[in-house]
Each structure stands twice: as structure tokens, then as C-alpha cells.
Structure 1
Amino acid sequence: MDWIKIFDSEEEAARELPLTKAKQIELNGRKICLAHTRTGFYAVADACPHLGESLSKGTTNYLNEVVCPWHSYRYHLISGAECKNRTRDAQTFPVENRSDGIYIGMPENS
């Protein structure tokens, strides 16, 4: 696992990505949807598994899901599971809040 630092602190992360918002970042050539919910920061592959729209253009909800802006498919930010099993799961990436910043774990072969 390749751990990539994306913010120097949780405070910086919260300034850059307000609560309930998502944004696209690029790591190791991959587009990632970074989401901020009441339970923390989460990362999933940005392309919706249904038809490929950017999940970072969507919203988050109180169930810890990111909602695709095209067809409202909902993906759980921890497991990646689509809430009604209509399509394959979204790929998730671990996020760690360390003393020196926020990191995302990327598989070494990605």
C-alpha cells in the first residue's frame, strides 16, 4: 500500500472540504472522490460504477453514502456497496488521520 499525504492536518482538510461535500482529487493517475461526512473523510473511485459519472459532483447523505448526480445511485463510503445492489460496488480506498496529516492508501499497482 502506498500512503499519500493529502492534507497537513484535519483542520486544513475541513477548510478545503467542508462537511457533507465531496471533491475530485487525482492520486497516482487515478481520479478519486474524497468525501467529508460527520464520521470523517472517505475516498472512493470517482467514476460511478453504473454509467461513469463523477461521484464528486454528487452529494453525501446522513447514511454515510455518496449519491451519484445522474441517477441517484447511492454508494456506502466505507464498503463501496450500492444501496440497492443494482450495480457493482464502488472501489474504496483507506483514509487515515495521522498526527502529521490526512493520508489515502493506494494499491501499489494502481
Structure 2
Amino acid sequence: MTAPTQTPVWRRACEGHELLDSAAIEVVVEGAVLAIFREQQTLYALDAMCAHQGGPIAKGAVHNGCVTCPWHGWQYELATGKQTIHNQKLLETYPVKEEAGAIWVQI
């Protein structure tokens, strides 16, 4: 017998005005710590802690669709969560949207 799967639902992460363009915010949604980025008017949501040593991804510099962890320089693609050196997905990504003045993530 297989375990029932839960249908992902949209959860409010923050207010839209809290996230300016070319910025990031760290939020907790349903117990998950997420980094949400607005880069060139596109939203991205991924795990907020670097896979290397737990650095705060939301405080990293963003360039060409990648974020660099401020602690030790590990880089990740915003859209995929892939670590750029080994091309391995190390951070989970989440669907994200802006609607009715709020930013929502699907958990």
C-alpha cells in the first residue's frame, strides 16, 4: 500500500511591497525556511540555507540568475537550485507567484 500524497497548496509568504526588485527576503512558510528573490521582475523561491554550511542564501549577491552564498561563495541557479560548480540540484525550489498584493509559494 502506498502512502497518500499531499496536494501542494499555495501559502502566503509575504506582502509584495516587502520584496523590491533585485532583492531577497527570508521567510518561514509551513515550517520551511525559504529565500524569495525578485530579479528583473521575476520571482524565485528556494531553500534559504546553503547546502555547504547553512549560510543565509537570501543575503547573497545575485548576478546572471545565480546567487552566491555570503559565507563561502557557493553559487546556485535561482531557477533550478543547482550548485553551479558540480551542476547538481542541492537546494529545493518552489513555485512562486504574486497575486492580490502578496507573494505566494506552493508548498
TM-score by structure 2 length? Answer: 0.80
Tell me the residue number matched to 2:104.
Answer: 103
Tell me the residue number matched to 1:26.
Answer: 28
RMSD: 2.0
- From the superposition, tell whether residues 31 and 83 of structure 1 become closer, same or farther in structure 2 (CA, over 3 Å): same
Write the distance in 2 (CA, Å) between the matches of 1:55 and 1:24.
8
Name whichever structure is richer in strand by fraction.
2
Q: Deviations over 1:75-109 (max 9, x none)?
A: 11111111111765211111123467432001xxx
Q: How does 1:1-110 map to 2 (within 5 A)?
A: 1-7=8-14, 13=16, 15-61=17-63, 63-85=64-86, 89-98=90-99, 101-106=102-107
Check conservation: 1:35, 1:60, Cα contact below 8 A: no
CA shift, 1:59, in A, is 1.9
Give the unaligned 5+ runs of structure 1. none
Write the distance in 2 (CA, Å) between the matches of 1:94 and 1:66.
18
* Number of equivalent positions: 100
CA shift, 1:60, in A, is 1.4
Give the unaligned 5+ runs of structure 2. 1-7
Write the distance in 1 (CA, Å) between the matches of 2:12 and 2:60.
24
Secondary structure class of the residue paired with 2:58: helix
TM-score by structure 1 length? Answer: 0.78
| AA of the residue aligned to 1:5 | R
% same residue: 25
- From the superposition, tell whether residues 39 and 85 of structure 1 become closer, same or farther in structure 2 (CA, over 3 Å): farther
Q: Deviations over 1:60-83 (max 9, x none)?
A: 11x211210011111111111111
- From the superposition, tell whether residues 30 and 84 of structure 1 become closer, same or farther in structure 2 (CA, over 3 Å): same
Secondary structure class of the residue paired with 2:83: coil
